[in-house]
Amino acid sequence: MTIPVQQSLAGFIASDADVSFTDAGTVQVRFRVGVEHWRREQDGTFTKLDNSFHDLLISGKTAERAADRFRRGDQFVAHGYVDTRYAEPPARPAEREVYVARRIGHDLARTAYDVDRTPASARQAAQQLRQVEGLAAVGTENGHPSAGAGQVVPPLTPPVADRPASLRPGASPGHGIGL
């Protein structure tokens, strides 16, 4: 059996996360990313060339995690594919290449970090408990009473109607890469 491979991209995050939602309500995050280029010289040394900059698009849960965990300057490795997106006129250029990442992580060779091997379900339960305790300590959160015994904790993500217009499903933030 052959090894399944995809295109990969290694680089650095060059912009803040641009979070938006699709018409179906799926989270999308766009980053402007930079890629370093080097030329090997005959004597074995390397000469740094100008960086190139590209658009990176991530969707779904991976997008939510990337928006929380990546900051400008972070080194990453992603795998996915290159796609051509067409902008609405009068945008220029009318078409633009975008790297669509299916998976993304910090570059192990260039980033120091700790690994949390706690199962995801245990991490989520602990996070929900901290949220409930935080609401109880504050008393109210965004006009909602704190959660007591038998009460339902309101979601931390505001309902669609309470989101800013730029973050509602189907709405464009009015800036970005014209996708």
pLDDT in tens, 58-102: 999 999 999 999 999 999 999 999 999 887 777 777 788 999 999
Task: Report the predicted TM-score, pTM, of the whole model to 2 decimal places.
Answer: 0.64
59, 53 Cβ separation under 8 angstroms: no
Cis peptide before 159 (omega within 30 of 0): no
Task: State pLDDT tens for residues 19-59.
Answer: 999 999 999 999 999 999 999 999 999 999 999 999 999 99
Q: Quote helix, strand, coil % in the chain, to nearest 5.
A: 20, 35, 45
Strands 38-40, 52-59: pairing is: unpaired
Q: How many CA atoms lie within 13 A of 102 on its CB side?
A: 9
> How do the domains of the chain map onto residue ranges?
7-167
- Looking at CATH, the fold of the domain delimited by 7-167 is given as OB fold (Dihydrolipoamide Acetyltransferase, E2P) (2.40.50)
Strands 95-106, 52-59: pairing is: parallel
Task: Single out the residue of 106, 24, 25, 100 nearest to residue 58, CA to CA.
Answer: 100
Name the amino acid, one letter, at 50. D
Taking each continuous run of H as one helix and of E as one strand, the counts in the chain are 2, 10
* pLDDT tops 80 at residue 170: no
